């Protein structure tokens, strides 16, 4: 019944994907890092087709045609450039920047300002290495703060993993080894897509953070959160603030969702809801845990199971709800400690309960009691068979006992509560039609006390019929005893009311447990 078969594990390539996406900004920063470390060095002119100087035009050397500049092992190529006496320079058209480590940058314009220690590239910028390609129209690097950023849109494509990351802005803080992608961040991978407002990655700790509305969509699983992180070293992730994980059959919500990929264990904290979309039930509570290896899940702290039917719902509250698969792979739900059940036409209590999805059977243990309209059913154990949300069969083993208010009218649960119809035996089976108990068969040590009533609008007992036999078969109509057939060594005596003794009104071990009956949804948590 409880089918929490979702994997919170981010894709195993996620660590490499994010690292590759931000690596390109590191490469760009390395191009210019030499300027700040060796500010006394000079830019070397390696080649130009033509060199000119005309102060009336521009106070700089004009380099025209196949320009090649070199600075500390980094080579700059362009169609033309202005080289200023301050070692500032502007480069124009078909710019290429080549460095010995194997990456290159191209664009239409480059300006280096030595005073502000800032390098700026504009228009049709492409930065490539063997793994990644960055394209943007604006790229700036400040050598003092060691911050590189693109703005007005950028696109990073992985040549290895086929990842594509786009965002309005990308920022790299080399001092803190922190990367930011901001505004309309979209990471596409063949196996998943990440959309968020801000993505932060630290290459030292290898932790990625998500900020703002974030959607992570995979082939079979979707994740939504408004903040979260993924530790790539420890394979630990957390999704917070309105976190939702959706699989093919399950929707999981919580204030925060935590997953340990190495242990394959997920935890959900506060306002936990787990909806099974195939079985139409919801499990809620304030703490949930799921073990992906064993497929076991449990929810505790205000744990509640809600089974939705066409006309109403069944609610089951317990200290803890545990789900694990049986040998056939179908879930079995275990509810234990102070189990309470409420449905408009059915209520129950016990200490522990087992619900088997394979045959839609419910088994109640340790002081179980079940109420159906006027009928109170107790025994050592009670089993219910359901189908399509309706009760089908009842089995009570050991000390089976049914009690109902003899003078209650029709299906009312209100009556005088002075005289009670009672059926008792070792074992009891019953059948329901439209959730109404229609017949009961008692096997072994059968005992009965039955108070026939008149047909007035407010029924009044006319006497009582008390009998014993091996087996008893009872027919119920309009929630009242209609016919009793006593089998094997039967004996019964009818006594008119004026001749009855109140001491004979109850069978041994009679207990009327109305005070424990949940009469509303709220009673599940208070009564």
Whole-number pLDDT of residue 148: 77
Q: Which CATH number is 377's domain given?
A: 2.60.450.10
Q: Provide the number of structural domains found in the chain.
A: 1
Residue numbers of the domain that contains 382: 368-518
Walk along the chain (527 residues) and give the pLDDT tens digit of each residue.
333 333 334 444 554 555 455 545 555 555 554 444 444 677 889 999 999 988 878 888 999 999 998 877 778 899 999 999 888 899 999 998 886 656 678 899 999 887 787 879 999 998 776 767 888 999 887 767 777 788 889 988 877 667 788 999 998 776 787 888 999 999 888 878 889 999 988 767 778 899 999 998 888 788 899 999 988 778 888 999 999 888 877 888 999 999 887 888 889 999 999 887 777 788 899 999 888 788 888 999 999 999 877 777 889 999 999 988 888 878 889 999 999 999 988 899 999 999 887 788 899 999 999 998 888 999 999 999 988 767 889 999 999 999 988 877 655 566 667 889 899 999 999 998 877 788 899 999 899 998 888 877 677 888 888 888 889 888 887 766 778 888 877 787 888 888 888 888 899 999 999 999 999 999 999 86
Q: If you count DSSP H runs as helices and E runs as strands, how many of each does the chain have, helices first?
A: 2, 34
| DSSP structure class, residue 506 | S
Reported as half-sphere exposure (CB side, CA atoms, 13 A), residue 360 has a value of: 11
Whole-number pLDDT of residue 308: 79
Task: Tell me if 153 is assigned to some domain.
Answer: no
Given a contact cutoff of 8 angstroms between Cβ atoms, the answer to whether 6 and 276 are in contact is no
**pTM exceeding 0.75:** no
Whole-number pLDDT of residue 410: 57
Q: What CA–CA distance (Å, rounded) separates 420 from 510?
A: 10
Task: Tell me if 293 is assigned to some domain.
Answer: no
Task: Tell me if 285 is assigned to some domain.
Answer: no
CB under 8 Å to 64, separation ≥6 — which residues?
A: 48, 49, 50, 51, 52, 79, 80
| DSSP structure class, residue 103 | -
Task: Tell me if 26 is assigned to some domain.
Answer: no
Task: Tell me if 507 is assigned to some domain.
Answer: yes
Task: Tell me if 406 is assigned to some domain.
Answer: yes
Given a contact cutoff of 8 angstroms between Cβ atoms, the answer to whether 403 and 375 are in contact is yes
Task: Tell me if 65 is assigned to some domain.
Answer: no
Whole-number pLDDT of residue 328: 83
Task: Tell me if 395 is assigned to some domain.
Answer: yes
Residue holding tokens 């228009």? 123
Residue 480 bridge partners (DSSP) = 477
Whole-number pLDDT of residue 27: 52
Whole-number pLDDT of residue 10: 44
């Amino acid at each position: 019944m409880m089918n929490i078969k979702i994997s919170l594990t981010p894709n195993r390539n996620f660590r490499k994907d994010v690292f590759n996406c931000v690596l390109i900004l590191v490469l760009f920063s390395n191009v210019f890092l030499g300027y700040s470390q060796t500010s006394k060095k000079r830019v070397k002119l390696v080649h130009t087709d033509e060199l000119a100087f005309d102060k009336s035009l521009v106070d700089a050397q004009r380099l025209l045609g196949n320009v090649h500049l070199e600075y500390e092992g980094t080579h700059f190529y362009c169609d033309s450039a202005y080289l200023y006496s301050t070692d500032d320079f502007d480069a124009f058209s078909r710019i290429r920047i080549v460095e010995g480590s194997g990456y290159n940058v191209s664009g239409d314009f480059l300006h280096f300002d030595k005073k502000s220690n800032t390098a700026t590239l504009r228009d049709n910028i492409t930065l490539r290495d063997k793994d990644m390609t960055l394209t943007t129209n604006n790229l700036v690097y400040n050598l003092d703060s060691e911050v590189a950023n693109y703005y007005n849109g950028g696109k990073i494509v992985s040549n290895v993993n086929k990842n594509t990351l786009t965002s309005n802005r990308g920022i790299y803080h080399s001092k803190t080894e922190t990367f930011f992608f901001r505004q309309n961040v979209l990471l596409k991978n063949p196996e998943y897509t990440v959309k968020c407002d801000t993505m932060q990655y630290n290459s030292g700790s290898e932790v990625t953070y998500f900020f703002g509305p974030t959607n992570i969509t995979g082939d079979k699983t979707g994740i939504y959160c408004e903040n979260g992180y993924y530790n790539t070293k420890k394979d630990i992730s957390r999704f917070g603030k309105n976190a939702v994980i959706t699989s093919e059959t399950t929707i999981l919500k919580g204030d925060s969702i935590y997953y340990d990929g190495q242990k394959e264990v997920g935890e959900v904290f506060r306002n936990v809801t787990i909806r099974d979309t195939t079985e139409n039930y919801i499990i809620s509570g304030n703490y949930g845990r799921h073990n992906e290896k064993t497929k076991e899940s449990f929810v505790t702290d205000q744990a509640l199971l809600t089974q939705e039917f066409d006309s109403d719902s069944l609610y089951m509250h317990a200290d803890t709800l545990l789900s694990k698969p049986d040998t056939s792979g179908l879930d079995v739900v275990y509810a234990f400690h102070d189990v309470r059940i409420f449905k408009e036409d059915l209520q129950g209590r016990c200490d522990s309960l087992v619900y088997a999805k394979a045959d839609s059977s419910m088994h109640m243990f340790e002081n179980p009691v079940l109420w159906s309209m006027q009928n109170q059913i107790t025994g050592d154990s009670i089993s219910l068979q359901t189908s399509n949300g309706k009760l089908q069969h009842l089995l009570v083993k050991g000390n089976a006992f049914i009690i109902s208010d003899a003078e209650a009218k029709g299906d009312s649960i209100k009556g005088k509560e002075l005289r009670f119809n009672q059926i008792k035996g070792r074992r009891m089976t019953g059948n329901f039609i439209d959730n109404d108990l229609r017949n009961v068969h008692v096997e072994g040590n059968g005992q009965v006390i039955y108070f026939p009533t008149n047909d007035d609008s407010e029924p009044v007992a006319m006497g009582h019929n008390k009998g014993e036999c091996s087996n008893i078969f009872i027919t119920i109509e309009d929630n009242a005893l209609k016919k009793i057939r006593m089998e094997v060594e039967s004996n019964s005596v009818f006594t008119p009311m004026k001749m009855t003794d109140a001491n004979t009104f109850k069978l041994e071990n009679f207990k009327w447990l109305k005070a424990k009956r949940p009469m509303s949804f709220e009673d599940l948590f208070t009564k």
